[in-house]
Amino acid sequence: MRSSSMATAILSIATVVLLLAAQDSHGAKLCMDSTFPRAVNGSLSFCGYNGTACCNTTDDAAVRRQFAAMNISGTPCGDLVKSILCARCNPYAGELFTVGTSPRTVPLLCNSTGVSSRVSGVAAATGYCAKVWDTCKDVSIPASPFQPPKGGASAPKLAEVWESEGDFCGALGGESICFDGEAAAFNATRVVPPVNGMCLERVSNGSYLNMAAHPDGSNRVFLSNQAGKVFLATVPPQGSGKPLELDLANPFLDITDEVHFDNEFGLLGMAFHPDFDKNGRFFVSYSCDKTQSASCSGRCACNSDIGCDPSKLGADNGAQPCQYQNVIAEYTANSSSGSPSKATSANPTEARRIMTLGLPFTTHHGGQILFSPGDGYMYFMMGDGGSVGDPWNFAQNKGTLLGKIIRIDVNDMPTGNSTPSWGNYGIPKDNPFSVDPKFAPEVFAMGFKNPWRCSFDSAKPSYFFCADVGQSLYEEVDLVVNGGNYGWRVFEGPQPYPALSTLGGNTSVDSINAIMPVMGYAHNTVNNNVGSASIIGGYVYRSMTNPCLNGRYIYADLYAQSMWSGIETPENSGVYNVTPLTFGCSKTSPIPCDVAAKSPLPSLGYIFSFGEDNAKDLYLLTSKGVYRVVDPSSCNYACPIKSSTQEGVPPPTSSPSSAFIAQAFTLPTTMLAGVLLVLLSFGF
């Protein structure tokens, strides 16, 4: 039994951590127009930003003209004002220039001490806002960017608008995130509670590759299997002791006749339009075989535009080049009631073909699709197309979609001659091609081998994590930005990769500005009986079911039944502290967990993917079923913060749905066998 003083201390710690967790959304990389920072080719000639920034050369020139009109160049005040104007190019400009929903003409100016700089790593300039006031208060600044106080009138001199430094800095100063004259600065104080383990309960025996929370915010999710079926399921409340509820006999969508299902082929991705509850639009990504399906007809990713001849690819596992294709197709929910949220099935006829991409080989197809909560565009994860070591160097070829993260607009459909080469979609204006015409217009980021499961942090939507499967040495997690190059096949993880073949040309280390992984693991650090490794990307955990996991990115290995959690420490530093994640099975699991041989740990089989519901609870999709993260105390894991399930937090309300059958039985062996094969050759 703990003493009352010990309990009080723990409660105090819990309160502090919860308060800090509530502030965890500070420091997200986002621009003023809600787009993500992009890679800068070289540096901006006036503002000088390089690496990633929220400005392109056109923006940089506009800032130069704005500053020139003030006629204060070469003065101490001019130097400060130039830096302040150029802060709109900062990767954190979205937060520096916005308070709530009110845009600003200057960033929040650091108004206190003890704030660590993201760039310099030292304390922010003491009273930077005060420094601006002292230097510029009596300087005439035509078209001054400094906003007057509410209701006040503009004037060239600061002292003519504000009565004092306190008045000025009270209006324009900031502390938790601010501009210190050189960079964005943050209050990075963070208390990280210990993680003693992750407790799981088994809520289904079915094997699935994808889970998507119902866009209506209810306690329902969509699950899809590799064979081509999508199911609508109801999630039971935490602690109820019940499994998922779904009707296996009546899938929401069945396109098994269109899907080519084998090894790394199948229904690989699923995404619901952000306005699904109004328009009923949803999308699936799947593989097809053009020798079996008349609608499986698309341009080969190996083509003359990128200097690739399909006839020279050679056969791969008996297949002909581009016999198999990746498809993104749009479907609509059946909604006789007029509300798509109430639909329990979809129209089985494809509403629109978004994209069809011919594949050069039979491996490394990626296939995940998802919508960004930040910009609303669709993201499509595409592998390098296959074969060992990307022999045609597709991942480093800016003109191809292979080895890339693709970003397209499915709301702005082109017409006539503007139709893209691969289907029907619009192109976001700030994709990398806007600053580098060598990029295919669809490309958002490049240099991936086989991105298997990406996600946006729901609390920091500019944080876009992608796990990229390695070749034979290293598995990586990347923090993806607009225009970023993540190295493959120049690098495998942080290590240079010696190309085995250069049929498609070679790329030198010095010719690219490769962005290194933020997390990952070497193959020789993973113990398993297969002799290989294949990373499975997950989510930043944002539920309070296990408060000690909150803010940690969770990921796993396909074969090894190993999991890790990574947390950015200090906050906004870009540096992640990664620790192995122990897991156990809840003593009240609705479906008993299998126990691993000679181990107290549950046997999960192969871990295929992760999922997240509307309550932000995390799920593991495995060959032995669906597992949900539950209260750590159910596995006797200690956490100093009380779980929300102990606080009596009610579950999300359920939307009307048809009767479901409690699903607690295994899929047919033939279907499961196919699922077990997915990803098995990802590293080869």
Q: Where are the beta strands (DSSP E) in 24-127?
A: 38-43, 50-53, 98-99, 102-103, 109-110, 116-117
Domain boundary among 136, 164, 186: 186
> For the residues 606-612, what does the mean pLDDT come to?
97
Task: Give, in order, the Cα–Cα distances in Å from 585 to each of 158, 234, 237, 593.
Answer: 63, 22, 17, 6
Q: How far apart are CA 121 and CA 113, in angstroms?
A: 14
Number of domains present in the structure of the chain: 3
Mark residue 328 as left, alpha or beta (left: phi above 0; alpha: psi -120 to 50; beta: remaining): beta
CA 95 to chain centre: 19
Name every residue whose Cβ is closer than 8 Å to that of residue 359 and which is 6 or more positions away in sequence: 301, 322, 324, 325, 326, 365, 385, 386
Question: Is 221 part of any domain?
Answer: yes
Task: Give, in order, the Cα–Cα distances in Å from 130 to each of 135, 185, 233.
Answer: 9, 16, 57
| DSSP reduced 3-state for 289 | strand
As beta bridge partners, residue 224 has 210, 230
Residue 500 pLDDT: 84
Question: Residue 269 carries which side chain, given as an amino acid letter?
Answer: G
Q: How far apart are CA 97 and CA 106, in angstroms?
A: 6
Task: Give, in order, the Cα–Cα distances in Å from 561 to each of 54, 558, 645, 675.
Answer: 40, 7, 27, 17
Q: Are residues 464 and 556 in the same domain?
A: yes
- Residue 665: exposure state from Cβ atoms within 10 A (0-12, 13-18, ≥19): exposed
Say yes or no to pLDDT of 491 above 90: yes
Maximum average pLDDT range among 6-15, 182-191, 315-324, 368-377 = 368-377
514 pLDDT band (50/70/90 cuts)?
very high
Name every residue whose Cβ is closer than 8 Å to that of residue 151 and which is 6 or more positions away in sequence: none
Residue 234 pLDDT: 98
126 pLDDT band (50/70/90 cuts)?
low
Residue 33 pLDDT: 78
Say yes or no to pLDDT of 357 above 50: yes
- State both tokens at 67: 């500053």
Question: Is 12 part of any domain?
Answer: yes
> For the residues 34-41, what does the mean pLDDT come to?
78
> For the residues 308-326, what does the mean pLDDT come to?
78
- Residue 177: exposure state from Cβ atoms within 10 A (0-12, 13-18, ≥19): buried
Question: Is 684 part of any domain?
Answer: no
Higher-confidence residue of 148 and 381: namely 381
315 pLDDT band (50/70/90 cuts)?
low
Residue 190 pLDDT: 66
Query: In 10 A of CB 524, how many CB atoms?
Result: 9
- State both tokens at 464: 């876009």
Q: How far apart are CA 631 and CA 363, in angstroms?
A: 39
DSSP state of 68: H
Question: Residue 654 carries which side chain, given as an amino acid letter?
Answer: S
Q: Are residues 180 and 212 in the same domain?
A: no
Question: Residue 597 carries which side chain, given as an amino acid letter?
Answer: A
* 616-641 pLDDT per residue, tens: 999 999 999 999 999 999 999 999 99
Name every residue whose Cβ is closer than 8 Å to that of residue 417 and which is 6 or more positions away in sequence: none
Q: Are residues 93 and 205 in the same domain?
A: no
CA 291 to chain centre: 35
Q: Are residues 266 and 276 in the same domain?
A: yes
> For the residues 609-615, what does the mean pLDDT come to?
97
Query: In 10 A of CB 435, how many CB atoms?
Result: 17
Question: Is 68 part of any domain?
Answer: yes
As beta bridge partners, residue 117 has 185
> For the residues 68-91, what does the mean pLDDT come to?
94
Question: Is 191 part of any domain?
Answer: no
> For the residues 97-109, what does the mean pLDDT come to?
75
113 pLDDT band (50/70/90 cuts)?
very low
Residue 140 pLDDT: 94
In the chain, % of residues over pLDDT 70: 84
* Phi, then psi, of 128 in degrees rounded to 5: -60, -40
Mark residue 487 as left, alpha or beta (left: phi above 0; alpha: psi -120 to 50; beta: remaining): left
Q: How far apart are CA 575 and CA 379, in angstroms?
A: 25
- State both tokens at 486: 């993540």
| DSSP reduced 3-state for 537 | strand
Residue 40 pLDDT: 79
Higher-confidence residue of 531 and 523: namely 523
Residue 397 pLDDT: 96
Q: Are residues 174 and 222 in the same domain?
A: no
Residue 418 pLDDT: 61
Q: Are residues 244 and 148 in the same domain?
A: no
Query: In 10 A of CB 361, how many CB atoms?
Result: 29
Residue 570 pLDDT: 79
Residue 661 pLDDT: 34
Q: Is 120:182 a contact under the CB 8 Å cutoff? A: yes
Question: Is 628 part of any domain?
Answer: yes
Q: Are residues 178 and 225 in the same domain?
A: no
> For the residues 336-342, what does the mean pLDDT come to?
81
- State both tokens at 356: 């069809």
Mark residue 508 as left, alpha or beta (left: phi above 0; alpha: psi -120 to 50; beta: remaining): beta
Q: Are residues 289 and 357 in the same domain?
A: yes
Domain boundary among 186, 221, 252: 186
Say yes or no to pLDDT of 681 above 60: no
Residue 117 pLDDT: 38
DSSP 290-352: TTT-TT---EESS-GGGT--GGGS--BTTBPTTSEEEEEEEEEB--TTS-GGG-SSB-SS-SE
Tally the residues of the chain: 684
- State both tokens at 404: 């890339």
CATH assignment at residue 408: 2.120.10.30
Q: How far apart are CA 106 and CA 178, in angstroms?
A: 11
Q: How far apart are CA 203 and CA 312, in angstroms?
A: 48
Task: Please report where in the chains the tokens 């081998």 appear, as a residue.
Answer: 449
Residue 241 pLDDT: 96
Q: Are residues 152 and 293 in the same domain?
A: no
Residue 98 pLDDT: 73
Question: Is 682 part of any domain?
Answer: no
- State both tokens at 423: 């289907």
Say yes or no to pLDDT of 668 above 50: no
Task: Please report where in the chains the tokens 């969508």 appear, as a residue.
Answer: 253
Write out the residue range of the structural domain in which residue 585 sits: 198-677
Residue 123 pLDDT: 35
Residue 149 pLDDT: 67
Q: Is 94:28 a contact under the CB 8 Å cutoff? A: yes
| DSSP reduced 3-state for 592 | coil
Q: Are residues 103 and 223 in the same domain?
A: no
- Residue 304: exposure state from Cβ atoms within 10 A (0-12, 13-18, ≥19): exposed
> For the residues 520-526, what does the mean pLDDT come to?
92
Q: Are residues 16 and 42 in the same domain?
A: no
Maximum average pLDDT range among 301-310, 394-403, 416-425 = 394-403
114 pLDDT band (50/70/90 cuts)?
very low
Q: How far apart are CA 303 and CA 309, in angstroms?
A: 6
Residue 311 pLDDT: 81
Q: How far apart are CA 535 and CA 557, in angstroms?
A: 5
- Residue 7: exposure state from Cβ atoms within 10 A (0-12, 13-18, ≥19): exposed
> For the residues 197-201, what does the mean pLDDT come to?
97
> For the residues 27-39, what does the mean pLDDT come to?
76
Maximum average pLDDT range among 158-172, 318-332, 445-459 = 445-459
Mean pLDDT rounded to a whole number for the chain: 85
Residue 338 pLDDT: 75
Q: Is 96:178 a contact under the CB 8 Å cutoff? A: yes
Task: Please report where in the chains the tokens 């053009």 appear, as a residue.
Answer: 290
> For the residues 32-43, what does the mean pLDDT come to?
78
> For the residues 576-597, what does the mean pLDDT come to?
93
Question: Is 53 part of any domain?
Answer: yes
Q: Is 261:250 a contact under the CB 8 Å cutoff? A: no
Virtual torsion, Cα 342, 347, 350, 354, nearest 10 deg: 0
Q: Are residues 555 and 636 in the same domain?
A: yes
Higher-confidence residue of 166 and 491: namely 491
Q: Is 330:351 a contact under the CB 8 Å cutoff? A: yes
| DSSP reduced 3-state for 477 | strand
